[in-house]
Amino acid sequence: MAMRNETIDGVPQGALRGSMRDFRVMQGKDLLGRCEAFYSWQDTRRQSGTWPFSRATEKGPASSCAVRDDAGVLTKGVNFASQDYLSLSSHPAVLEAAKQAIDEFGVHSAGSPALVGNTSTSVALERRLAEFMQMEEAILYPTGWAAGFGVIKGLVRSHDYIVMDALAHACLQTGAQAATRNVILFRHNDVDHCRSRLVDIRRRDPDAGIMVVTEGLFSMDSDTPDLAALQSLAHEFGAVLMVDVAHDLGCLGEDGTGHIGIQNMLGKVDLVMGSFSKTFGSNGGFVATKSRAVKEYLRFYSPSCTFSNALSPPQVATITKALDIVQSEEGKFLRGQLMANILTLRSEVRRLGMDCYGDPSAIVCVKTGDEAFARMTARDLPRRGLIANLVEFPAVGKGLARFRLQVMAGHRNEEILAAAHRLDAAMRSARSQLDAGFEPVSRRLAG
């Protein structure tokens, strides 16, 4: 198929082609000037309405809210683009806890955790998190990214190896690349392929340190690995397993311990890293370990911990109160409400003829495939009143674009149904526009 027209419904061809990967490695000595090529491509998409990124909510991530795009255009709609799975960011008890912390401690930690950036409340939160994960110790980080990057960079050295799931989060991949050149990927959730990687390493280097890295729940595919099999495999080869639980901790499982709890692996995984930004209403992250020695080593050798200010008192109070709720009967009720919303959305998406990836979780990724089709769909969503995130190459494979609908416990049934129907309508409109704008191969050959 080739484009018949220079534009499709006013969208130029350049807005439907290319990806951010095209501008990752740029040539030339002008480090600042070579940014212009990316900006030109980005602005072509911005001006044509096919750049759905860098938006800002007007008053926070409510289940329905107003957002302003980075061109300044304001729209309103049902919000399935925010990561607030149990709707705790606006919970009255959480808000009150943050306000009280400001009154008592102020707004700033004013120091690194290696110095005097800790407070009595942050020390108490570390103890609570360790107990929640059934581990001996936990250490806080200023962001989830910092925790993922820092646990790898803090423990792995240049002569060591990292064996990582090919779809692991960017913070984990960046931490690995910063730590060692010996980064080896295994096929997504493929334990046998992970084994073959470990066999090869041990054949070459029987004494090297090895960290195996995976996630409890992968945010683009909503699937989970066999954690027991990976932990057993890691120990068989003298390696350690590190699991990122950013997207499932707090919001999945009977007790909120995510897939580690669901798979009966609490206290059995070597290292657990998590983020507070999905379920716990705040920035921040943590690493849980079975060893005080590991915790202390990370405090002084994990650069994103040592050389960052500690979490602020209001953040600590927010996370602590959110954890209180997660561990309460209310938290159990909210998880049930969230799962009911998830199942309703997945069912309605499929009833309308669309499809979604993976297993039920707060992440409902609806398949679109072709990037041009996805961008035309994204262009239509604001006017239909749906706020959703487009994910495209290179964040996912080429031709595997999708809309990542993020479900909250606070979504009402009518908002869930509206999201599915509005996405379906936008897809139908986009397909019609693209079909009208492309010329069939047979017609071009006949000409």
CATH number at residue 57: 3.90.1150.10
Residues 184 and 317 in one domain: yes
Domain count, the chain: 2
Count other C-beta atoms under 10 Å from residue 115's C-beta: 11
Residues 259 and 339 in one domain: no
Q: What is the pLDDT of residue 39?
A: 96
> Does some domain include residue 19?
no
Q: What is the pLDDT of residue 7?
A: 84
Predicted confidence pLDDT, tens digits, the chain (447 residues): 455 557 888 899 999 999 999 999 999 999 999 999 999 999 999 999 999 999 999 999 999 999 999 989 999 999 999 999 999 999 999 999 999 999 999 999 999 999 999 999 999 999 999 999 999 999 999 999 999 999 999 999 999 999 999 999 999 999 999 999 999 999 999 999 999 999 999 999 999 999 999 999 999 999 999 999 999 999 999 999 999 999 999 999 999 999 999 999 999 999 999 999 999 999 999 999 999 999 999 999 999 999 999 999 999 999 999 999 999 999 999 999 999 999 999 999 999 999 999 999 999 999 999 999 999 999 999 999 999 999 999 999 999 999 999 999 999 999 999 999 999 999 999 999 998 876 543 333 333
Beta strand ranges found along 276-383 (DSSP E): 285-289, 363-369
> Does some domain include residue 29?
no
For residues 6 and 315, give the distance between their C-alpha atoms in angstroms, rounded to a whole number: 50
Q: What is the pLDDT of residue 4?
A: 56
Domain boundary among the residues 275, 296, 326 is at 326
> Does some domain include residue 20?
no
Residues 372 and 407 in one domain: yes
Residues 363 and 293 in one domain: no
Residues 255 and 286 in one domain: yes
Residues 219 and 353 in one domain: no
Residues 312 and 241 in one domain: yes
Domain boundary among the residues 286, 304, 326 is at 326
Residues 298 and 337 in one domain: no
> Does some domain include residue 105?
yes
Residues 140 and 230 in one domain: yes
Instruction: Decide: residue 269, CB within 10 A, 0-12 exposed, 13-18 middle, 19+ buried.
Output: buried
Enter the tokens of residue 302: 């994990």
Count other C-beta atoms under 10 Å from residue 1's C-beta: 11
> Does some domain include residue 25?
no
Q: 389-391 and 401-406: which strand pairing?
A: antiparallel
Residues 317 and 346 in one domain: no
Q: How far is CA 418 from CA 62, 86, 339, in A?
A: 15, 20, 18
> Does some domain include residue 336?
yes
Domain boundary among the residues 326, 359, 393 is at 326
Residues 400 and 382 in one domain: yes
pTM of the model: 0.93
Query: Residue 408 belongs to what domain range?
Result: 49-79+329-446
For residues 370 and 368, give the distance between their C-alpha atoms in angstroms, rounded to a whole number: 6
Q: What is the pLDDT of residue 130?
A: 98
Residues 203 and 347 in one domain: no
> Does some domain include residue 8?
no
Element (H, E) at 145: helix 144-155
Enter the tokens of residue 166: 């090919």
> Does some domain include residue 363?
yes
For the domain that residue 220 is a member of, what is the CATH number? Answer: 3.40.640.10
Residue keyed to tokens 């500690």: 310
